[in-house]
Amino acid sequence: MDTPQSKLSRRRFLLAAGVGSAAATAALVAGKNGVADPKSEKTGREGKGYHVTEHILKYYRTAKV
């Protein structure tokens, strides 16, 4: 039925597929630019509406794909 050689080659294939996908994901994440610095962009509107806080920046950092 299954020989030790076929089990070993299947394991190597699955290991290579896992390592390859992890490397591709890391390269994709490293290649993307981060969120633009919202503090440098002044719109002149202070107080109301959407504003970036440290909490929101933390969410942006954790939600990167």
State how far the Cα of 57 lies from the Cα of 48, in Å rounded to an integer. Answer: 18
Do 36 and 56 meet the contact criterion of CB atoms below 8 Å apart?
no
Q: What is the pLDDT of residue 31?
A: 72
CA distance 17 to 11: 10
Per-residue pLDDT of 5-63, as tens digits, reads 677 788 888 888 888 888 888 887 777 655 555 555 555 556 678 888 999 999 999 99
Please report which confidence band the pLDDT of residue 4 belongs to, taking 50, 70 and 90 as the band edges: low
- Degrees, nearest 5: CA angle 65-32-60: 50
Amino acid at 58: K
Look at residue 22 in the predicted model and tell me its pLDDT: 83
Whole domain around residue 42: which residue ranges?
A: 4-62
The number of distinct structural domains making up the chain is 1
